[in-house]
Structure 1
């Protein structure tokens, strides 16, 4: 008896939708070109790690994604970067609104010299998200819960944010960033000033946050990149050498420069 052939094509996993794209992005600081034409796609609800030696352009590229380079007097950015298909360097675009959609967490925790509550409430207040105290309290609580900090500070909301430990301060800064309900969170070496225990807490938090946010993280710690990200891009001397699924970058890099960096031959 002949076996009936199943011509049904195998189901493929749908590709994640793109949140941001960069095409031929170059950055000059005066006469020095710091980035030499970066092309990359950033999928929604994934973590992208940017790795590479110091001075290779990782943080410069990260700052392009919410126009932080605008504040540097001699910086010139060319090329195209889109957020949901919209050119973020369009002259008609409101940069304040862009930075609400693309939040930033810096290398060193930088809480405002305000109470824990006011640190988190600052963004919703200046963006006019609510004028009602009860709604603001809800935003603050939800943001602190999302940052894994609520249980530790719920009885201390009136105390200064600067009185928290380093790891707690960094989570407070994450809560402050997500309080305005961004779509993308940029993190520039967010664990470099933290001890291993605080670092582990932040890494676990990053994995939870990607359910609701797209995350781009700059890190010198290759083990951290391997733990937290789905995609990794290797930068070297202003070029993006390669960009692949994280496991592939670390187990089967395509470029000898990537191989040299991840095996410690330079860095």
Structure 2
């Protein structure tokens, strides 16, 4: 079994990734990762990760830059497939189906597991067409009226409908940064996903827009499983029910948010949360 030894501030802390995995097991998970390893050429980016993610919860991934958070996130909808030299071993089961299997069609997978990126990336289309794109692609609407309902419902769930309902034909790129990010969230949920992945969704936003996105995350949790990468510990504390701490490609600790922030079990977690490094 792989064992990592991590040196921080002159001290050596041994860590066995399987030990952290024991913290992660939950009843009837929506996502179950087992012995996940990711390699970029010779670089071992994720090391023997085992982690369960529950239904209708927000899991925040925290840790220093380059620790593997985004790499893990991109495994959940196979976005690492597009990176030359990337190799993934292990299993990721979503609702019991191993999405790492070579026969999986990634197009419906990426509809089921939606992604919201660090920088808002609306299509250079109207607000309406930004939302309608996915349902049209996947054949989710049989008529214009049905498509109209999907667009309105998605914008309502993203908390954007009242702000844009009288200008659905205007370009999505003309919206403010916070509105653009909510538009991207509406676009992600328009195809009825099971899981929403968010990679630093508020890093480019002002405090008011960030507060709106955080409130939206809390509301969306009633319908979706959400996994969010964030460098903001205060944001993780506000939005997540559980937190997973990564370091040098290893899952160090995962648990209830209050427990992680108030009483971490691992020295590496404590040092990161208290600002000794990271």
TM-score w.r.t. structure 2 length? 0.90
Give the drift of 1:73.
Answer: 1.0
Q: Which of the numbers 184, 187, 195 marks the counterpart of 1:173? A: 184
Name the SS of the counterpart of 1:241 in structure 2: strand
Q: Which of the numbers 189, 195, 199 marks the counterpart of 2:200? A: 189
After superposition, what is the alpha-carbon deviation per residue over 1:193-218, rounded to whole angstroms, capped at 9, x for unaligned?
00000000000000000000000000
After superposition, what is the alpha-carbon deviation per residue over 1:208-267, rounded to whole angstroms, capped at 9, x for unaligned?
000000000000000000000001000001000000011100000000000000000001
1:74 aligns with 2:119: no
* Residue equivalent to 1:128: 139
Q: Distance in 2 between matches of 1:238 and 1:88?
A: 21
Name the SS of the counterpart of 1:266 in structure 2: coil
Pairing 1:15-94 to 2, within 5 Å after superposition: 17-94=28-105
* Residue equivalent to 2:259: 248
* Residue equivalent to 1:260: 271
Give the drift of 1:16.
Answer: 5.5
Give the drift of 1:80.
Answer: 0.5
Q: Which of the numbers 212, 215, 226 marks the counterpart of 2:237? A: 226
1:239 aligns with 2:241: no
Stretch moving more, 91-100 or 239-248: 91-100
Give the drift of 1:130.
Answer: 1.4
Q: Distance in 1 between matches of 2:109 and 2:129?
A: 22
Q: Which of the numbers 138, 148, 154 marks the counterpart of 2:149? A: 138
Name the SS of the counterpart of 1:108 in structure 2: coil
For the aligned residue pairs, the C-alpha RMSD in angstroms reads 0.8
After superposition, what is the alpha-carbon deviation per residue over 1:39-72, rounded to whole angstroms, capped at 9, x for unaligned?
1000000000000000000000000000000010
Q: Which of the numbers 203, 210, 226 marks the counterpart of 1:199? A: 210
TM-score w.r.t. structure 1 length? 0.94
Q: Distance in 1 between matches of 2:258 and 2:188?
A: 29
Unaligned runs of 5+ in 1: 1-14
Name the SS of the counterpart of 1:18 in structure 2: coil
**Retained in 2: the 8 A contact 1:80–1:89?**
yes
**Retained in 2: the 8 A contact 1:16–1:44?**
no
